[in-house]
Structure 1
Amino acid sequence: MTAVQKVIDTDVHNTFKTPYDLAEYLPEPWKTKVATSGIGNAWHGIWSPIGVFRKDCLPPDGGPAASNPDFMVKDLIEPYHMEYAILTGDAMNICTHPDPDYAAAICKAYNDYMIKEWLPKHESFKGAILVAGQDPQLAAREIDRLAGHPDMVEVLMGSAQRAGLGQRQFHPIYEAAERNGLPVAIHPGAEGSGGTYASAAGMPTRYLEWHTNLSQNYMAHTVSLVCEGVFEKFPNLKFVMLEGGLAWLPHLMWRLDKNYKALRSQVPWLKRLPSQYIRDHCYFSTQPIEEPDNPKYLGDLFNMIDAENMIMFSSDYPHWDNDSPMEILTKLGPDMRRKIFYDNAKSLYNL
């Protein structure tokens, strides 16, 4: 089995070797804080027995996994024929920090670090503008500041929020993204910290439960985005759901459409069935792809959701459960594979 001819990876987690790398891009008092005690990203506090990163992704010169651009090219980009890799970083957990000014400062510093230290290193690297939802006005300013950079191709925020992402306090972020022609992506990691929810049943006991339940958060955000009218208010906005799974999508669309038919008076701004907004505005990453015992079931599910136009490949490198483009979705037809592994991302990100 060989990789598809061309691949665009929509979720690659580059990082820095030490907090000192980020500190130089921060003003005081944050510079001293990060240099002496790290970013202080919120954490859900649930221990993983296997860690988060693959042990074989450590660069030969030392440092954390995915902290060396040259090694990433040799370990990921070249072996899998990746034309582009969207670098999503490792700082989105700042989304639950209690200090909105500090969170915004970290995002700005991380974006400047990305632009200087990563994007020039290889022609495949593209960046995401990290923003924090604690102060959407500051987030909108950051989007406007960097949207003109040719290698920054989306807006990124953490999916761990204290409210559904469709609610109007987040709308300045979407307005700025639409104004600048950029999609918005969300990514998990801090669910259960900073007053956010780890699951619909509260805080789970173990990492296995936490990791499995992440898709519940994505279901809630999807319903919120549609029902709050985000895609009517911002008709050109595209939304990317990274690392939230996708097997839940058919039943959510069916249930939401059914309920809308009886309860549409509560959402008079919606002009179409909820599922139509999801199909027209939302994209979902492959990793972590659900893996039924019978591969035919996944193919059936893909047919239910128009997957060839909504799904994009992501490796989630260098996390423990990351996927190789040579090993997933091998049973799909060549046209659908080409769209999922390449065409959809090329079109969405204007690459």
Structure 2
Amino acid sequence: MNIEAAKNWSPATAAGNEGWQHLASAAEPLAIRAGDGHVSLVDADGTAAGQARISVADGRLLIDDVAFAGGRLDQPQILAGLVDAALRLHPSFDRAFLPVAKTLWPVSTLATEAAAGEPERAIVHRSVLRQLPLLWRSQASHSTYPALTTAIGPEDRLPPLRQPRPCGPMYERWIAEIGLTVSLRPIDRRTDLDLFHRWMNDGRVAFFWELAQSHEELDKYLAEQESDPHIFGVIASFDGEPTGYFEFYWAKEDRLGPYYEPLDWDRGWHGLIGNTRHLGRPKTLALFRSVTHYLFLDEPRTQRIVGEPRAAHQKMLSYCADAAYDKVKEFDFPHKRAALVCCERERFFREVPL
């Protein structure tokens, strides 16, 4: 259906902006507009990229009359954005009922279930939708490798061949609870070194990271990462303002690998909040959940995200607990007593609000 054919409603009559939606296919965010029983995704010029009617009947969240702007080739991404917006507007529902794919073909990229007794309805589950690379994860920044074997790596823990690190923006998601957009991008030592040096030489950060070093030493640290396929650094921002630094790693090849039974696609991360303006539990927890979300989105074969915070770092462990990480055990690294924490994919998408 062409969006011009939709009747009795337009973005101009909507109640207002309900937030932002970041499609993997779009360079700029789309505004979420809701009102009069409809939801739409609107470009900066006020043009609706897509819209739908939403209603609740018999305890079900229904999405009907879906329409797309003429010429849009990213209809699956738009539909995913509309469904996600509908679920945000109705947070008590964990699934939405859509028309079947034979009447709305992008449904085939989202739905995993046919409604019992209703041949004209397909079901999209919230926990499935938020694992799909249709929203938030920039498609142009990523490449996916097949499971190719390699003889390069730790001899006792040879990994599959790893894809190169992303280039450019990796992830963007508007977080209603704090009213900010979180974004992730690779660190660039040519432009980010001063920021990295300032954060690492902050006493609060240096206590845990032990990298209070000179520009030259930190430049070497980042340069060594560039030649190591198992790890790379990331700058996290709120509304474009650099906020924290994270390191994403493949656990099998990491120093953590010998201390548990790693799977090929296990991922892990270290992180810090360097911008003191954004300290505090709501923002920190939003970042930790977003980082975990990104790592699951990045590689669909990843079933576990692991970490190794200090065993005595109770604040960090409490953040982990609120992001669906279980404490598995304690163990001794050469430099610290650590806790092994683990987040399972199924539990994360079932329990963690995004």
Scaled by the length of structure 1, what TM-score is found?
0.28
Higher relative contact order (CA 8 A, sep 6+): 1
The answer to which structure has the higher strand fraction is: 2
Q: Larger radius of gyration, structure 1 or 2?
A: 2
The answer to which structure has the higher helix fraction is: 1
